[in-house]
Chain A
Amino acid sequence: GESVGLHLPTLSVQEGDNSIINCAYSNSASDYFIWYKQESGKGPQFIIDIRSNMDKRQGQRVTVLLNKTVKHLSLQIAATQPGDSAVYFCAESDSGGYQKVTFGTGTKLQVIP
């Protein structure tokens, strides 16, 4: 079956350094990818998305890279701050109809002060 997975379950980063969270996906028909952040006690929160006709998209301190050749997605966080500590999920979706999103297991980002 189709799946979305993450390479690392936990990532520890020094405050001020850059963080890179990786994700592999297997459904070549997926055309929309999303990163969510989930803080303790809260629901997942949309961070940034990218469509399959792009390979890079930047937001505020975050960049998502998409490599369709190897079905790989990454989230880069610049100058990581303590408030970035959370679980990060990548997710994939396809167009049309209701939006069925498949989530990965999640990577826990721990920021060391």
Chain B
Amino acid sequence: ETGVTQTPRHLVMGMTNKKSLKCEQHLGHNAMYWYKQSAKKPLELMFVYSLEERVENNSVPSRFSPECPNSSHLFLHLHTLQPEDSALYLCASSQERQNYGYTFGSGTRLTVV
């Protein structure tokens, strides 16, 4: 593992379900991110938490709700999703004010049926 662990690896959910994605980082970083990766599109930044405070929310629909209880854990709560929300959801972490790149998890492959 890369130091950033995401669970589950795969998730199939119906449009009326509620589920949560979990991310945990073991690197001592203080910033965490959710990205959405769809086929043939650049990585889309969804949410940023820096020092456990949400600092960016890129106009993401309210059916996605992030939570960052501490600097090591990040959640993405999902409810009433649409089929077009099917994608790979990537969590990443970095150290604020130090440009050393992100460390990514392996992602959760989400399929909405």
Contact = CB atoms under 8 A, between A and B. Distances in A.
Contacts of A96: 97
B81 interface: no
A46 B106 contact: no
A45 interface: yes
B31 interface: yes
Nearest to A44: B104
B49 to A, nearest CB: 8
B94 interface: yes
Nearest to B49: A98
Given A98-B55, A98-B96, A34 B42 contact: no
B59 interface: no
Contacts of A42: 106-107
Contact of A97 (B45, B96, B104): B96
Contacts of B102: 44, 46, 99, 101
Nearest to A3: B42
Interface residues of A, number: 28
Interface of B: 2, 4, 6, 31, 40-43, 45, 48, 50, 55-56, 90, 92, 94, 96-107
Interface of A: 4, 31-32, 34, 36, 41-46, 49, 51, 89, 91, 93, 95-106
Given A42-B106, A98-B94, A99-B102, 14 more contacts: A36-B104, A44-B102, A46-B102, A97-B50, A98-B31, A98-B55, A98-B56, A99-B96, A99-B99, A100-B48, A101-B102, A103-B42, A104-B42, A105-B40
